[in-house]
Amino acid sequence: MRSVRDSAPSTEGAGIGPGRGLIALSVLDAARLALLLLSGLAQPWPDSVGYWSLGRDVAAGDLALWGAGLGYRTPGYPWFLGGLQWSLGDGALLATALLQHGCVWLTHVIVVLWTWRLSGSRQGAQLAYVFCVCSTARPLYANWVLTETLATVFLVGVSFLLSSADKAARLRPLLLAAFLTGVGILLRPSLVVLAAAVLVAGLWRARRTSAPRSRVAAIVGPALIVLVVVAPWCARNKTLFGRWTLVTFTGRELWTATFSPWPGAGLAIPEDGRGRELRDRIAPASTIDLRHNWSVAAALAASGLNDAELDALMERTARQAILRQPGRAAFYAAARCLTFWYCREFAPPADAQAGFPPTPTLISPREREVLLAWTPERQQWFVVAAGAISGLCVLLIIRDPATRWSGLLLAGICGGMTLLTACLEIPTYRYRLPLEPLLIVAVATGASRLLRVPAHDPAPSG
């Protein structure tokens, strides 16, 4: 199959700039982001309170977050928030939103460049930007103190760098991708899937290299960089909890997937072994909902366990239940893989959380929600169709030898995020959100190649 890039004209002549269409879309994108920003920075998510509080600790000088004594958070986002709080005071919340909206715009730029490179046409890049502009639920998260927006730009940036790992003359893009992967993992632990992608990219590059030293560098160099970036935080957890670990959160996540009702497995909570130990510890608070992970965690903390100890006890109890009903647990994990791709976005909670500085609002949240009521990500039919079409387009990209590596990369990252989420969590739109730009790359590239859009302009390098 002859790729569109193969049929592209030479780079001689004019017309290699972004073009009026992309410029107009960029202006429209900026205006839309400004409109979302002006709808106010009320924080409806309980998680935001915890992040903001950890940011205050960082601003006060507790960079290792010793005082918080938590193992279920990584330091990347608190460092980001703490730096803004230390330098800007009450202006930190507005600065957070502004920077996060800037990250949304940067994400779209990377999506456009990547699609242009894969499709070989400016029209393909314009189609990708149209999809970005039509996506409204994801940019709204930039208003909120949550990790989604920063995690998305790291995920897309690293994926873009890795997409050229098999063709780049130098190792530098792969090493930069490894460094950004380490930073991204400290920001949001689920980005650990990128570490696997970096390792595979190194192996893919090594098999295309004849020099033994270059092969070793391509495999060992990126892995070492990721380890060097995350190791200090693992050492902090070793000092605090006695465990070399990135986070102490597996137990709480596994508790949700194992014991919650659909799409959780809804397994029986053991009454012997580790289950008995757990029940005995929370007996004074026996009125709590045992199937709610945070209620159980709070009760165990009140019994005297530290963050790592209570998480380990919850993990062992969940594993005890899984070993007794492995078939049911596996079936529901597979069902959650499907749920990951059809769960849709809902309107955020109506009540704002306290503890944040006031910010000006020109458009009320209620008016904003009226405007967003029909955003594509909130429509069930669209979510299902988008997932199916994205999968077909990824297969189309893999089929073409010219783009096979990028297609495998897209499939691997999306598949890895799906499995990781399905095994440890009940999927929601928030967990799939960072993958949305990758789906846009796949659909825009696949559509332009399938329709054989003429390649009027050479793809930009990078």
Counting as low any pLDDT under 50, the low residues of the chain are 1-15, 453-456, 462
Q: Which of 292, 310, 293, 314 is nearest to 301 (CA)?
A: 310
Residue 69: Cβ within 10 Å count: 12
According to the model, what pLDDT value does residue 256 have? 93
According to the model, what pLDDT value does residue 353 have? 87
Distance between CA atoms of 9 and 370, rounded to whole angstroms? 47
According to the model, what pLDDT value does residue 460 have? 60
Residues 6+ positions from 363 with CB-CB distance below 8 Å? 35, 38, 39, 40
According to the model, what pLDDT value does residue 1 have? 39
**φ, ψ for residue 304, nearest 5 deg:** 115, -5
End-to-end CA distance of the chain: 25
According to the model, what pLDDT value does residue 85 have? 97
According to the model, what pLDDT value does residue 95 have? 96
According to the model, what pLDDT value does residue 18 have? 67
- Judge contact between 119 and 110, C-beta under 8 A: no
According to the model, what pLDDT value does residue 17 have? 60
Which tokens in the block code for residue 328? 């049911």
* Structure-token match 């530290």, residue found: 306
In the chain, the amino acid numbered 70 is: L
* Structure-token match 């596996």, residue found: 330
In the chain, the amino acid numbered 159 is: S
Q: Is the pTM of this model over 0.95?
A: no
In the chain, the amino acid numbered 427 is: P
